[in-house]
Structure 1
């Protein structure tokens, strides 16, 4: 059979006469606007199983894409499968729109489509997933070594709201690893410096800057309304407070820590999975004494190491928001930068845990600041 190529005007006449107009672009392309009453199905889906969408081989089918090239290729594939009445729209949707023919209004804007185009092409993300990211609210505690790379990638990925909490200011010693900050912003509050960098990267992100240290007095306020909490701090008082609050309020906590040349990552989700997933206290029931837990300023840290761990944390946040993949629940991922090795340790919920045991009443918050070493990463 010979492939028919129709002008947009002629294709519209045939559509009004009963021909089936199929837009074979990807979902995110169709969301930018498509011909009125066109049936949307991606080219690869249509070619894989045309009978699921076109049970009758005699039906008149008109294919439209963006410019006409993909529709011509798809039409040839349909002709080869026995469809006898297939045509394409010359110039595609661009020509259809130029001709002033009726179209569905765009559901996303061009900036959204271009900025997130690589996500939109992933079936596991797609348009619906990207909208989930846009609607998500994530608390990043710490705008330092871990919080900086994690927030940078979360903003780039399209997380709609990032609440950044840190009471520290930018120092020159931070710049070796805290990539959100610059030499010109030394002395500026870290959350303000972070907001400048994140909005410059992605103006679509809403950054809520909270220049406060996390305490038992403000932890629930900081967690209010967020979907996921990312622990980017470098001190045990904050770590235990975040864990306890996430259990009490049913929030997933993405944990990360670095020391010299080693780092670790996990997801603690006991608040939503009592008895089925461990919390941080199941792994470390009590904080260590100060002399056993030196912070980065005392022990040092390889500059690139927080970047590795922070990006792993950002990956876990994105997976949790999208509901895809296998989060690090019940697993502690450990990284040795000198050996360039990862190893994994299985974690189980402690049935006697004073915070997350299934029948345990919440014991309240304890501030450990007086007994733990503290730092900013």
Structure 2
């Protein structure tokens, strides 16, 4: 059966004569304005259970979307479900508005208006949508390091709408940081990095809560930092903190998004052994022992290409968002290596170590150790 296609003016006339006008766009689209007196029912919800919103299959029903495509598909579904008088509005809400027909804008708080405007491009993604964006808003991410890796990641996580970012770093901004640590600026040299980061992130997205943790991470405070986090971000620049974070995340069953950079190369992975014992590796499965200090100098000693932490940090941020939303395939069990000079990515499969002293299946947490001594003696 062919579907009747009508103009917005005809739709308005039928609405005034008693037809039910149904806007099948998503809630975030209707929030910007909809045809006056239209009933809002998202297309997927309408198709899943038409009778819940339209109990009378004999009633005259007019469907409208943004341009007319979705309403046509929804109309076909209704006809197949036994509805007898269904029409679709050609040109949708766009044409309705262009022809000067009356519109209604739902009453919203400033916060909700900001939500729909700011995240409109996320809301258009079916894989994210409003439910996913609200999940991001409710999330808490603990970030260790507000430097090279933490800077780009924190910017994009704040922009994406992560509700709470906890930034841990005990350092202050130095002029040498500005070549790569884009959270900071010339006028904030000498300021605590976490405070400098809070200023930058709040300017970008004032709806994101930024909690500062201006302490050196140790066995005494690491659990206080990550206990309530949904995801932990490793932007550390030294091995003692990496091993400590790994062990704490295994103990508290937190996914750890790892990143590291050296000169022109970087690597990223997700260590999720705490939630998946025996199935996912931890950092210790990859590096049972740290390399000697001379084999892994820090950026101050070896130098680093300024744009490199941007690439690596943004891959880490992507993994954080995916973990919160439950989207796609994480890097758990995979190590992604990036060679900036060759512009190549290489993937290495990682397996859990059945003898790992921390994450082996059935093994009790052995307790924290003196990580500085452990790294210094290897």
TM over 0.5: yes
Following superposition, the deviation at residue 87 of structure 1 comes to 6.4
Question: Secondary structure at 1:140's aligned position in 2?
Answer: strand
Tell me the alpha carbon deviations over residues 1-24 of structure 1, each in whole angstroms, 9 at most, x when there is no partner: 67264589866654xx5x333112
Alignment of 1:1-377 (within 5 A): 3=6, 5=8, 13-14=16-17, 17=18, 19-31=19-31, 38-42=39-43, 59-65=59-65, 70-71=67-68, 74=71, 85-86=86-87, 88=89, 90-91=96-97, 95-97=102-104, 109-370=112-373, 372=375
Question: Secondary structure at 1:254's aligned position in 2?
Answer: strand
Which structure has more relative contact order (CA 8 Å, sep 6+)? It is: 1
Instruction: Check the 8 A contact 1:4/1:86 in 2, yes or no.
Output: no
Q: 1:189, 1:324 → 2: CA distance?
A: 35
> How many residues were matched structurally?
361
Q: 2:296, 2:353 → 1: CA distance?
A: 23
Tell me the alpha carbon deviations over residues 123-175 of structure 1, each in whole angstroms, 9 at most, x when there is no partner: 11110000010000000100000011111110011101000000000001100
Alignment TM-score, normalising by the size of structure 1: 0.85
Instruction: Check the 8 A contact 1:255/1:313 in 2, yes or no.
Output: yes
Instruction: Check the 8 A contact 2:281/2:352 in 1, yes or no.
Output: yes
Instruction: Check the 8 A contact 1:6/1:87 in 2, yes or no.
Output: no
Question: Secondary structure at 1:265's aligned position in 2?
Answer: strand
Of the structure 1 ranges 103-112 and 194-203, higher mean CA displacement relative to structure 2 is found in: 103-112
Instruction: Check the 8 A contact 1:215/1:367 in 2, yes or no.
Output: no
Following superposition, the deviation at residue 61 of structure 1 comes to 1.3
Of the structure 1 ranges 246-255 and 4-13, higher mean CA displacement relative to structure 2 is found in: 4-13
Instruction: Check the 8 A contact 1:290/1:371 in 2, yes or no.
Output: no
Following superposition, the deviation at residue 284 of structure 1 comes to 0.6
Question: Secondary structure at 1:109's aligned position in 2?
Answer: helix
Tell me the alpha carbon deviations over residues 284-309 of structure 1, each in whole angstroms, 9 at most, x when there is no partner: 11222222221110011110000000
Tell me the alpha carbon deviations over residues 310-332 of structure 1, each in whole angstroms, 9 at most, x when there is no partner: 00000000000000000001000
Following superposition, the deviation at residue 27 of structure 1 comes to 3.3
Cα separation, partners in 2 of 1:58 and 1:139, compared to 1, 3 Å = same
Following superposition, the deviation at residue 30 of structure 1 comes to 3.1
Instruction: Check the 8 A contact 1:33/1:106 in 2, yes or no.
Output: no
Instruction: Check the 8 A contact 2:9/2:101 in 1, yes or no.
Output: no
C-alpha RMSD of the superposition = 3.5
Cα separation, partners in 2 of 1:362 and 1:94, compared to 1, 3 Å = farther
Instruction: Check the 8 A contact 2:194/2:213 in 1, yes or no.
Output: yes
Alignment TM-score, normalising by the size of structure 2: 0.84
Following superposition, the deviation at residue 203 of structure 1 comes to 0.7
Following superposition, the deviation at residue 372 of structure 1 comes to 4.0
Instruction: Check the 8 A contact 2:251/2:274 in 1, yes or no.
Output: yes
Q: 1:327, 1:298 → 2: CA distance?
A: 32
Instruction: Check the 8 A contact 1:24/1:71 in 2, yes or no.
Output: no
Q: 1:255, 1:2 → 2: CA distance?
A: 54
Cα separation, partners in 2 of 1:250 and 1:273, compared to 1, 3 Å = same
Q: 2:175, 2:102 → 1: CA distance?
A: 55
Cα separation, partners in 2 of 1:322 and 1:73, compared to 1, 3 Å = closer
Q: 2:12, 2:213 → 1: CA distance?
A: 56
Instruction: Check the 8 A contact 2:144/2:233 in 1, yes or no.
Output: yes
Following superposition, the deviation at residue 104 of structure 1 comes to 8.3
Instruction: Check the 8 A contact 2:30/2:40 in 1, yes or no.
Output: no
